A and B are shown apart, each in its own frame.
Chain A
């Protein structure tokens, strides 16, 4: 520090610097390097704190796929199952509902999705969708509203029999979880299908 205070007045009043410009650039380098080191250190310190808030191993393990037996479900019935703590509706459509839903024009929808994108091919009767409204997450009530589907008690959204939003404020259709038919009477939720919207 003694050398700094001795040379400082000379540079401050504009007189010639004896230590040359490289002294300044060396300081600049140290300054930038220290700053960069601090930034990296801060990020490395914060990262574990944020990462620890992500789903832990137990939660992820508990999210393993589940099997659902379809045999007890009657025509028109909706059952609730849980996968990863999320509510999922499994619904057996009646023949009339299938016909009605196939006939809905895309222009009548908020988030247009043709019927075949809502069910697995060859299984037109079965609908599997997440059971939380895409607006703010309330549970819509089945067989309510004007579209043979669900109506949300919280903010008034309505979905049709294959979970397509037909009346706002929900912005998108009820999402379809990944699932696949193991047999004609059993599905596995959590793998085997794409996560379709």
Chain B
């Protein structure tokens, strides 16, 4: 996928025969073995691999849960309890799936932080980045659909609130809502089709992930210095360097996952979801899952239904415009003294929005959410374009190697085989 001619040489006759017909071994070799990786990557660059692992975990546990789950308004809640009590290791499958979703979002938010801080969205990686935003949107849809499936109180009322959000869309909103419900309210047809869609979307995510990785291997990875690979000395081969580092980081991340899974499996959920859905009673305090809280706070910050809905969707979609809103030529925040400070304010405002989303919508909480929402959008629409124009960035290092060893120093030899980094040099 790197766009370079593969350096893979099949050894056995069978491998040669196969490679001449389907060069998949060469593809794997050039993408995951010989692929040149900037030598200065830090651990923020391991979340791609961690996310791939979690997509796998979610798909495997999900397929197995589907063997026992019953997608109907009368059967869903009981079948989930059956999974917990009667199915061998059902508790493990379900807790791994539920907490796996949260870990998936932890990893994706760190991955997105990396992209925003180090300017990975800037040319030539715009398409790569937008594919990432699309994956994030698909993840949010999948997570919402999945959360409705246990058909507890939070499931039911979450489905009600979110489908009512869609009804706010002018002209076609009511039609979309009826088509999603399959009836006149959230009910049996709704849970049935949400299950179908929840099973469908992960495969769409997997498809976009393939494009995401493909685009990555065309442009090459960004790095903490934000400068392109200029010579073989700037890079190391993917295997073993990145492979081992990714595996190690994934193992460390799995410790966090395992802690939630085995010690706090319900910490990130809501107790109300262990009460079967009741369309006559709304839980006293409705909040979405933690990973939606900043957007929920933005929704509630506006005292108008349609306005709140528009701002909430805009808050996600504006991410896709970052490559053109940011006017700076320097990618990495490490070399952008002014923008970096605004960036941390942005991160602070987003985290604060997350906390405010979990609080009741009254008084000072609403005012604070309005202030944070204003900054969230101002960061993209005002700070990003203006900082690039007025800021004087720090001097960039001469090369990736220099950013690691310091100026003037040289190391003998290269991490890469001769010529292996030729293409990324020109594409940078």
A residues neighboring B (CB under 8 Å): 50, 53-56, 59, 63, 80, 82, 84-87, 131-132, 135-139, 152-156, 168-171
Chain A residues, Cβ within 8 Å of B284: 153
Main secondary structure of the interface of B (DSSP, over half): loop
Q: What residue of chain B has the Cβ atom nearest to residue A80's Cβ? A: B280
Could you tell me the distance between the alpha carbons of A21 and B300 in the complex, rounded to whole angstroms? 63
Is B337 part of the contact surface with A, judged by Cβ < 8 Å? no
Q: Are A139 and B282 interface neighbours, CB within 8 A?
A: yes
Apart from the given pairs A84-B185, A138-B161, 18 other A-B contacts in the complex at a CB distance below 8 Å: A50-B179, A53-B193, A55-B183, A56-B182, A59-B183, A63-B184, A82-B280, A86-B184, A132-B160, A136-B165, A137-B157, A139-B282, A154-B282, A156-B360, A168-B304, A169-B300, A169-B303, A169-B305
Say if the beta carbon of B178 comes within 8 Å of chain A. yes
Question: Chain B residues near A53 (CB, 8 Å)?
Answer: 179-180, 182, 193
* Residue among A50, A84, A155, A171 making CB contact with B184, cutoff 8 Å: A84
Nearest CB in chain B to that of A85: its residue: B185
Please determine whether A54 and B184 come into contact, CB atoms closer than 8 angstroms: no
Interface string of B249-287 (1 = CB under 8 A from A): 000000000000000000000000000000111111110
Which residues of chain B have a CB within 8 Å of any CB of chain A? 157, 160-161, 163-165, 178-187, 189, 193, 279-286, 300, 302-306, 308, 360-362
Given known A138-B282, A156-B362, contact A85–B303 (CB-CB < 8 A) = no
Min CB distance B120 to A, Å, is 35
Q: Which residues of A contact B179 (CB under 8 A)?
A: 50, 53-54
Tell me which residues across on chain B come within 8 A of A131, comparing CB atoms.
Answer: 280
A-B contact count (CB 8 A): 88
With the chains together, A132 CA to B284 CA distance in Å? 14
The A interface, classified by DSSP as helix, strand, loop or mixed, is: loop
Q: Are B308 and A138 in contact (CB under 8 A)?
A: no
CA distance A155 to B296 in the complex (A): 11
A153 to B303, alpha carbons, bound, how many Å? 16
Residues of chain B contacted by A59 (CB below 8 angstroms): 182-184, 187, 189
With both chains docked as a complex, state the minimum distance between the C-beta of B263 and any C-beta of chain A, in angstroms: 32
Q: Which residue of A lies closest to B189 (CB)?
A: A59
CB-CB under 8 A from B303, the residues of chain A are 168-169
Docked-complex contact A85 and B184, CB < 8 angstroms: yes
